[in-house]
Amino acid sequence: MPDARPLLLFDSGVGGLSVLAEVRQRLPQASIVYVADNGGFPYGTKSEAEIAARVPALLGRLVERYRPRLVTIACNTASTIALAAVRAALDLPIVGTVPAIKPAAERSVTRAIGVLGTDATVRQPYVDDLSARFASDCLVVRHGSAALVELAEARLRGQPTPDRAYSDVLDGLLGQPGGERIDTVVLACTHFPLVADRLAAVSPRPLAFVDGAAGIARRIAYLTEGQDWPAESPPGRAVFTAPFDPPPALRDALAARGLPQIEWL
Ligand code: DGL
């Protein structure tokens, strides 16, 4: 029996599209509802209390409306702050996104890794915990950047984003004590893989950029193993939580990622 229930992916903006790309590769038949909480964007400059109050309530509404089989919080900020509360409130599998510190520590030769996330993510105890568990023999240098989130949003809207803006972000990481030793950078915000090529282009030396998207897609495939999917993947939907008319470049970017339908919550 074909099962039409979608996968729901959730982020504050376009960042979760970096996760969606991996999910599409692994589960091409899945129907997708992609939610951008533009009404709450940006998350990274908000307090823990604001995120903790907003995200579980909003996901509750979304689950009621779209009846997904599984929810993915494709956002490090929301996951590191509210994953436990969302799991406690909702009776379906919830996959979170956490900074890929473990794979970064596994590949670092210099034993110095950078964690580039939002301000809210890099200050989370969750990051201390991951560093202690998986990178205890590494120097872990963190940098929070709201600017890089805005750059990713702007790029997907087709706006110009100057090289200088990307090098300022990298300077904020590599300019810290021990930063000159970093060989691997965790992209601990789902927006950042969307601009990783630009970061690499302005980097003063080759750096490896690591993110968690492939691991999330594997986890979703594992949790939905044996389930039926529609014979043909239906057109995906992009849902915005506040009225917003996406500019043509963003509509194209969404359509190119299998999200031709746009709606508002
Ligand atoms: N994409 C989000 C993350 O992974 C947050 C971006 C924001 O709203 O600040 O952390």
Tens-place pLDDT, residues 149-179: 999 999 999 999 999 999 999 999 999 999 9
Length of the chain: 265
Could you list the residue range(s) of the whole structural domain that residue 199 is in? 101-211
CB 71 within 8 A of CB 11: no
Looking at residue 139, which CATH number applies to its domain?
A: 3.40.50.1860
Does residue 1 belong to any structural domain of this protein? no
Distances from the Cα of 189 to the Cαs of 72, 79, 121, in angstroms?
Answer: 14, 10, 8
Residue 15 Cβ < 6 Å to ligand 1: yes
CB 79 within 8 A of CB 87: no
Whether 135 and 169 map to the same domain: the answer is yes
Catalytic annotation, residues: 75, 189
Whether 120 and 146 map to the same domain: the answer is yes
Residue 12 Cβ < 6 Å to ligand 1: yes
pTM, two decimals, is 0.97
Residue 198 Cβ < 6 Å to ligand 1: no
Whether 81 and 138 map to the same domain: the answer is no
Identify the pLDDT of residue 242. Answer: 97
In angstroms, what is the span from residue 192 Cα to ligand 1's centroid? 9
Domain count, the chain: 2
Which of 211, 226, 248 terminates a domain? The answer is 211
Which of 172, 194, 211 terminates a domain? The answer is 211
Which of 211, 232, 250 terminates a domain? The answer is 211
Whether 122 and 202 map to the same domain: the answer is yes
Whether 180 and 120 map to the same domain: the answer is yes
In angstroms, what is the span from residue 32 Cα to ligand 1's centroid? 20
> Can you name the residues that pair with 117 across neighbouring β-strands?
144, 188
Whether 41 and 77 map to the same domain: the answer is yes
Residue 1 pLDDT greater than 80, yes or no: no
Whether 219 and 206 map to the same domain: the answer is no
pLDDT tens string 208-227: 999 999 999 999 999 999 99
